[in-house]
Amino acid sequence: MMDERDDVFDSKITLHDRHRFEIKLDMDLGASSRTVYELESYFFVPRSLNIAPGTYTKDDFYNSNQRYIRFKTPRISLSKLWDPGLPASPLNRARKSLADILSGSQEPELIDSVYEELKLLGCVIKGEIRDHARAFISELEACSARGEGGGRMFDGEGFSAFLADLRKLVDEVHSLKAGIMDPVVPVRLKETYKFLDEYLSLTIEEHLAPPLAALRGCSHQPGGPSELEKVLTELVFSQGRYRSAMGYPSVLRAGDTNEVLIYRRGVLKKFISSVLYLKTEVDEWQAATQVVLGLAAGVAMLFAAMAAIYAQNRYTMNSVPFVAVIVVSYVFKDRIKDWLKLLFSRNLTRWFSDREIKILDPIDSKKIGVLKEAFTFISEKDVPPDIARLRSIDNITSVDEDGKPERVFKYKKEIALYPGKILKTHSRRKDLNDIMRFNVKEFITQADDSSVDYLYADPGTGSIRPVPCARVYHMNLIIKYSYAAARGQDKVHYDRIRIVLNKEGLVRMEEVRAV
């Protein structure tokens, strides 16, 4: 994780895999009728990678992106999920609707309610397990750094209480099974419960295995494992046995490729988390943009028409000069149209977007927000002063820029949300995440090999021998976040990230902080 904040610009920039990094922006809804978030991303790409307007188009950029807009997972303590006095608990809501179904009601709203609440329950539990596991590992590492870690010297009382709550909650979830498997309950809900059950088992195993490994890595006092380690060991190791006994496909088998487990995990994750994702509709036909681009074609056609009129008045129609003028005007007409389109596309992004994405409520498909985005290459002289200052902040000398020539492109995104419309329908799912995954494969197609031999003159032995050295490229990314909830409340924040690439993909990401 490169950065994480708890204010309105709560953002995370992380490596997702070998070829993709992820930018995640948390958007908290304010009290105003309209909340606007703006994100400007400036990519500084080494010219040696040959990323230019002629080789990298708008379509290439948008095809390299994956976008998800979703509700943030509601935060509910595990110990409160089975509390009958908490009406917001998805477990309680699922129980109530299930009781009505078992009483004979087959209203579609009740069935949909159980379906959605079971998935939301899975999201909430997953979030709590993940956060507690991370906090435990951090606490363990901090104690070890102070010389206090290891075995029973680290009691982990808070984590022990969490594990007790988790085991109790799993029992509560399993208690739903008798009712859900009743013949009166639709098959759809039976299958949803099985997916949830398998997903929770995988989640417990996946997220609690690292804390167990960290705990085992500490030095123990004589007397064997601590009670916490015993409890955690049993909980983690029992999950595989449980899924095998239930006949679930996600079982790890020795000597197998285990592609089923990874595939199944992905299916379950997408199914459970689908309750948080919003619908989107992309509108790539922007009226103002189309009119201006049409104007470019009109100007080019006007030139061709004027040339034809001139040729008719000056030469006879079957003469060589007439034909030459018509051919030349046709050639220039296409060039003028392409040049004007390029000119407009570079400058229109100041006022117009490439496309508009409607953000729709998944329940009633009503519009609850709009996302506009635009992409363009810009010259170095057009880079805003605040961005240029951040780009050069780690230059060692005044001539550094000549040693690392770059091309710059800009991606601008504006997200407008309507909190009033969202809060009318949602009391638990309200704040949003905007997630963008960017693929760098297009950037490394013309990169040199990731390793190069360097002839080293060893002064100790007097020998000259080749030494393999890593060859990398630095792509710099500067993100400017702007937030406006009302007049006079604008806020701005910057991120500067150095993305290190080689022929195989992403190597690492480094945050560059202003001095």
Q: What is the pTM of this model?
A: 0.76
Indicate whether 354 belongs to any domain. Answer: no
Are residue 368 and residue 258 in the same domain, yes or no? Answer: no
Indicate whether 94 belongs to any domain. Answer: yes
**Residue of 253, 132, 261 whose CA lies nearest to 204:** 132
Indicate whether 3 belongs to any domain. Answer: no
Indicate whether 282 belongs to any domain. Answer: no
Are residue 246 and residue 97 in the same domain, yes or no? Answer: yes
Amino acid residing at 437: R
Are residue 388 and residue 477 in the same domain, yes or no? Answer: yes
Predicted confidence at residue 339, as pLDDT, reads 61
Are residue 155 and residue 107 in the same domain, yes or no? Answer: yes
Sign (positive/negative) of CA torsion 322, 326, 329, 335? negative
Edge-to-edge strands, sheet with 20-27: 11-15, 20-27, 432-439, 65-71
Contact 495, 478 (CB under 8 A): yes
State how far the Cα of 413 lies from the Cα of 399, in Å rounded to an integer.
33
Indicate whether 298 belongs to any domain. Answer: yes
Are residue 205 and residue 121 in the same domain, yes or no? Answer: yes
Q: DSSP 3-state helix, strand, coil percentages of the chain (rounded to 5)?
A: 45, 25, 30
Amino acid residing at 206: E
State how far the Cα of 444 lies from the Cα of 143, in Å rounded to an integer.
42
Are residue 467 and residue 433 in the same domain, yes or no? Answer: yes
| 479 bridge partner residues | 41, 495
The number of domains in the chain is 3
Per-residue model confidence as pLDDT tens for the chain (515 residues): 444 444 445 678 888 889 999 988 887 776 666 778 888 999 999 999 999 888 898 889 989 988 888 888 888 899 899 888 888 899 999 999 999 999 988 888 899 999 999 999 999 999 999 999 999 988 888 777 666 544 445 557 888 999 999 999 999 999 999 899 999 999 999 999 999 999 999 999 999 999 999 888 775 545 556 888 899 999 999 999 999 999 999 998 888 888 899 999 999 999 999 998 888 877 655 545 555 566 666 776 777 778 777 777 777 777 777 777 777 776 676 666 666 555 555 455 455 677 888 888 877 778 888 888 888 898 888 889 989 888 888 765 444 555 578 899 999 988 888 877 777 777 777 778 888 899 999 999 989 998 888 888 888 888 898 889 999 999 999 999 887 655 555 678 888 899 999 999 999 998 887 65
Indicate whether 268 belongs to any domain. Answer: yes
Predicted confidence at residue 392, as pLDDT, reads 84
Provide the 3-class DSSP secondary structure of residue 306: helix
| 508 bridge partner residues | 500
Predicted confidence at residue 338, as pLDDT, reads 61
Predicted confidence at residue 455, as pLDDT, reads 85
**What is the phi/psi pair of residue 394, to 5°?**
-105, 15
Predicted confidence at residue 489, as pLDDT, reads 58
Are residue 50 and residue 88 in the same domain, yes or no? Answer: no
Are residue 366 and residue 479 in the same domain, yes or no? Answer: yes
Are residue 269 and residue 302 in the same domain, yes or no? Answer: no
Indicate whether 82 belongs to any domain. Answer: yes
- The structure tokens listed for 258 are 């285990």
Predicted confidence at residue 188, as pLDDT, reads 93
- The structure tokens listed for 456 are 């080293």
Q: Domain containing 307: what range?
A: 287-348
Are residue 122 and residue 270 in the same domain, yes or no? Answer: yes
Predicted confidence at residue 484, as pLDDT, reads 67
